[in-house]
């Protein structure tokens, strides 16, 4: 009999990653910028050697050296960036983060759910719910703070009352069909299962983005996605 595993999930994403760092890492992956440019950004932020190493590790998971199962997703993200430009960076960064780091995705999902009605929530509630999954540890609290700070830098939310409350920023309207399909794939990789197509526009984990397009048609035209019917009025999207 296999031993029972009692360890809590790993956080993975435990650094503040400003949007410009993610954008630079994306450009490094596409060979549009040298790796030294990213190092210079971290140096300019005054990071010491240990902090630089940890920040670089997070950026590797995002763009520089993603997991083998996410390489194709990252490369398609690079191709979308070449077409759409820097306006796509927040969505591309978000998609890679939720696909590569379940901890980041869980924070996003919780914020998306808790702010869905009134547009804001208490940061303490996010920390409480993250502790239920990842343990009552100082590291969990610190990592969740770093993720929240990062999501604010990426334009998803504002931190007010000394960071005690989180307010949704206006959603970013995504109009490029390729980017919408790419974001849906990222959400599927985070969820690990199919998602109901009618629920995609209100997806908690994709709360910063407005997907006001014919999603079923976009999915049907996307080679990496599949549509499955669940009755006359319900469809499920899954990875191929």
**pLDDT tens-digit readout, 41-57:** 999 999 999 999 999 99
Residues 70 and 111 in one domain: no
Across 221-238, average pLDDT = 88
Q: How many domains does the chain have?
A: 3
Choosing from 91, 115, 138, the residue where a domain stops is 91
233 or 125: which leads in pLDDT: 125
Please report whether residue 223 resides in a domain.
yes
Alpha-carbon distance of 54 to 194, in angstroms, equals: 33
Please report whether residue 6 resides in a domain.
no
Please report whether residue 225 resides in a domain.
yes
Residues 191 and 217 in one domain: yes
- Is the four-CA dihedral 19, 75, 96, 208 of positive or negative sign? positive
Of 187, 195, 103, nearest in space to 147 by CA? 103
Q: How confident is the model at residue 232 (pLDDT cuts 50, 70, 90)?
A: low
Whether 110 and 129 have beta carbons less than 8 Å apart is answered as yes
Radius of gyration of the chain from its Cα atoms, rounded to whole angstroms = 18
Q: What is the reported pTM?
A: 0.94
Q: How confident is the model at residue 9 (pLDDT cuts 50, 70, 90)?
A: low
The residue with tokens 């960076």 is 89
DSSP 218: H
What's the domain range around 229? 173-239
Looking at residue 237, its pLDDT comes to: 97
Q: What is the residue-averaged pLDDT of the chain?
A: 94
The residue with tokens 């998602």 is 195
Choosing from 67, 91, 115, the residue where a domain stops is 91
Choosing from 91, 123, 143, the residue where a domain stops is 91
């Amino acid at each position: 009999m296999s031993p029972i595993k009692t360890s809590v999930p790993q956080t993975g994403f435990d650094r503040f990653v400003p949007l410009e760092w993610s954008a630079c890492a994306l450009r490094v992956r596409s060979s549009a910028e040298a790796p030294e440019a990213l190092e210079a950004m971290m140096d300019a932020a005054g990071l010491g050697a240990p902090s630089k190493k940890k920040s670089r590790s997070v950026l590797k998971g995002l763009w520089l050296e993603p997991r083998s199962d996410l390489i194709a997703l990252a490369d398609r993200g690079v191709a979308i960036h070449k077409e759409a430009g820097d306006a796509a960076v927040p969505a591309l960064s978000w998609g890679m983060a939720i696909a590569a780091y379940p901890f980041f995705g869980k924070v996003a999902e919780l914020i998306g759910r808790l702010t869905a009605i009134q547009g804001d929530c208490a940061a303490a509630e996010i920390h409480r719910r993250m502790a239920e999954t990842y343990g009552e540890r100082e590291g969990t609290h610190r990592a969740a703070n770093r993720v929240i700070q990062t999501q604010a830098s990426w334009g998803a939310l504002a931190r007010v009352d000394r960071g005690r409350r989180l307010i949704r920023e206006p959603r970013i309207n995504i109009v490029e069909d390729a980017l919408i399909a790419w974001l849906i794939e990222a959400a599927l990789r985070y969820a690990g299962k199919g998602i109901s197509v009618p629920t995609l526009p209100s997806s908690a984990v994709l709360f910063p983005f407005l997907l006001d397009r014919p999603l079923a048609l976009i999915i049907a035209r996307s080679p990496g996605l599949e549509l499955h019917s669940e009755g006359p009025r319900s469809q499920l999207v899954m990875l191929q």
